[in-house]
């Protein structure tokens, strides 16, 4: 059992509404934290919104509203989206929160006192999309930002700079000596290469350029820039204070994992780490960089018109519950690789895995229990842990825990489906309907018990992905709703009356099936 587990997501920029890429990260994070809650009583998930900067300032001005009004409007959209997807965060932070702003000022002052911040006049290429200065070698052959495909603006300003180069060798050594620090590991060489050419970074902008942000105490000409503002949310949200950190901070920090997109790995694995080193704080245990989600094999783009909101998918398929979408997104890509969303693939995958494989297995087994034994499990039906399905259940549990330890979320989902496949094969091989026809009722009962006990295991293992389906499975097994891994032992399904014919319902109806009405597709 783990004492604690602290997970953070990237904080989303509230210049627009949430899309499927935002949803992918939050679903991955929620699946991880739900799994960890099955193992510990002290698992904490932080998410949030990044609410300062020039883009918000300009967008608000173009609409004739204040930056705060724009932030409030879009924050509510993110909050609603995560509610619809049942993202079970423990706290959602906004960088406009007063406590965050107060602590960011403290952090800036501390870095300044440590001699790690200095003022410097600088001319550079600034991409407003990245809210970052870029060097010429970062640009495409046409001189464009590779992410936003726009030409950066040449800016000359006197700003505060952070001595990132001071920590260059220390960070490189840490990355090389801590094999679990960067996940997936294939990102390590990319980061080490970036470190070779690293320069000090601007951590403020002039008030003339950026008014919407946290001001520097003692210097009215400067606004604290994103790297100290946004990145510090991971510690300000849980009570970090230079002089008097809270008990929650002392308990939760360091973060066990920062879940982020691959496009911001440099900022988290280099910039953030250097800031923490300067503050004298422990470093996060793992930085997990996931890939991107494409739409029908094309990168999401407003100009193409293929940006999809998670709400649109739930609405299009009339999903009352988000389980199918959560499952599909969480299993969309192997660790750190890009995934793809398409309507057809979505339907095919969730129909095959959730409806045909898992749902149908439960449904037909419970119906046989009613048909042959009036819905009752007799004590002599209970099988021991030496049978092959019990052994496979134990192995699957251990493999899932190991997969989650390495943030192999899609791979863990595959293990659950493979186990369900094996149980389906077991039903075919043992043919309980034939055993019953031959009046071998003890053997029939043992087969049905084995399958239903396997279904209890599947429900607990599936819970992080599909919390509602998992609860429905346990309800139909007349089991207590408890998804802790301590309940994953063979023989947990007790004897007695389990169900009746009228209580047996599909836990997931096939999408677009003739039985899935507009109100029941979820």
Catalytic center residues: 19, 22, 127, 130, 145, 148, 299, 302
Start-to-end CA span in the chain (Å): 34
Which conformational region is residue 496 in: left (phi greater than 0), alpha (psi within -120 to 50 degrees), or beta? Answer: left
How many angstroms separate the Cα of 396 from the Cα of each of 403, 461, 471? 10, 9, 20
The residues near 222 (Cβ < 8 Å, ≥ 6 apart) are 159, 160, 204, 205, 206, 207, 215, 216
The residues near 199 (Cβ < 8 Å, ≥ 6 apart) are 135, 164, 165
- Which residue, 477, 481, 483, is CA-closest to 462? 483
Q: Mark out the alpha helices in 331-440 (DSSP H runs).
A: 343-350, 360-373, 388-405, 409-430, 432-437
- Structure-block tokens of residue 18: 């949430």
Q: Which residue has the tokens 């040449």?
A: 154
The residues near 193 (Cβ < 8 Å, ≥ 6 apart) are none
Give Cα 441 distance to the centre of its chain: 46
Indicate the Cα dihedral angle 366, 371, 377, 382, nearest 10°.
-80
Q: For the chain, what is the radius of gyration of the CA atoms?
A: 26
Task: In whole angstroms, give the CA distance from residue 249 to residue 421.
Answer: 44
Task: In whole angstroms, give the CA distance from residue 183 to residue 58.
Answer: 36
């Amino acid at each position: 059992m783990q004492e604690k587990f602290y997970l953070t997501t990237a904080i989303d920029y509230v210049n627009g509404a949430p899309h499927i890429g935002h949803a992918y990260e939050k679903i991955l994070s929620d699946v991880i934290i739900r799994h960890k809650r099955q193992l510990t009583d002290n698992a904490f998930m932080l998410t949030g919104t990044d609410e300062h900067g020039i883009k918000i300032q300009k967008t608000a001005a173009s609409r004739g509203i204040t930056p705060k009004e724009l932030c409030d409007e879009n924050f509510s959209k993110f909050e609603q989206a995560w509610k619809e997807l049942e993202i079970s965060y423990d706290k959602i932070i906004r960088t406009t929160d007063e406590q965050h702003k107060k602590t960011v000022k403290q952090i800036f002052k501390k870095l300044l006192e440590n001699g790690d911040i200095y003022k410097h006049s600088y001319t550079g290429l600034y991409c407003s999309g990245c809210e970052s200065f870029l060097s010429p070698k970062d640009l495409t052959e046409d001189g464009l930002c590779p992410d936003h495909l726009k030409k950066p603006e040449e800016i000359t300003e006197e700003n505060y700079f952070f001595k990132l180069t001071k920590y260059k060798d220390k960070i490189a050594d840490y990355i090389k000596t801590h094999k679990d620090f960067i996940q997936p590991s294939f990102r390590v060489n990319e980061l080490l290469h970036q470190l070779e050419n690293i320069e000090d970074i601007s951590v403020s902008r002039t008030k003339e350029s950026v008014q919407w942000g946290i001001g520097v105490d003692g210097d009215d000409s400067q606004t604290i820039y994103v790297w100290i503002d946004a990145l510090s949310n991971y510690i300000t949200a849980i009570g970090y204070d230079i002089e008097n950190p809270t008990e929650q901070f002392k308990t939760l920090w360091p973060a066990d994992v920062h879940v982020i997109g691959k496009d911001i790995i440099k900022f988290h694995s280099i910039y953030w780490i250097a800031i923490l080193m300067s503050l004298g704080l422990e470093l996060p245990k793992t930085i997990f960089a996931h890939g991107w989600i494409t739409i029908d094999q094309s990168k999401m783009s407003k100009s193409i018109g293929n940006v999809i909101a998670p709400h649109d998918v739930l609405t299009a398929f009339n999903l009352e519950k988000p389980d199918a979408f959560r499952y599909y997104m969480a299993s969309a890509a192997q660790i750190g690789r890009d995934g793809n969303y398409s309507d057809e693939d979505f339907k095919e995958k969730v129909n095959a895995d959730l409806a045909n494989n898992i749902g149908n297995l439960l449904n037909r087994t419970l119906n046989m229990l009613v048909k042959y034994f009036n819905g009752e499990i007799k004590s002599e039906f209970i099988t021991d842990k030496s049978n092959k399905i019990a052994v496979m259940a134990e192995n699957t549990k251990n493999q899932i825990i190991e997969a989650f330890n390495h943030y192999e979320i899609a791979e863990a989902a595959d293990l659950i489906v493979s186990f369900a496949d094996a149980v389906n094969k077991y039903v075919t091989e043992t043919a309980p309907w034939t055993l019953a026809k031959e009046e071998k009722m003890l053997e029939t009962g043992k087969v049905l018990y084995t399958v239903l006990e396997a279904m209890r295991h599947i429900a607990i293992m599936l819970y992080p992905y599909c919390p509602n389906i998992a609860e429905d499975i346990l309800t139909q097994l007349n089991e207590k709703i408890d998804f802790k891994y301590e309940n994953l032992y063979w023989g947990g399904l007790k004897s007695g009356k389990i169900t009746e014919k009228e209580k047996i319902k599909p836990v997931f109806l096939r999408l677009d099936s003739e039985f899935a009405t507009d109100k029941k597709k979820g």
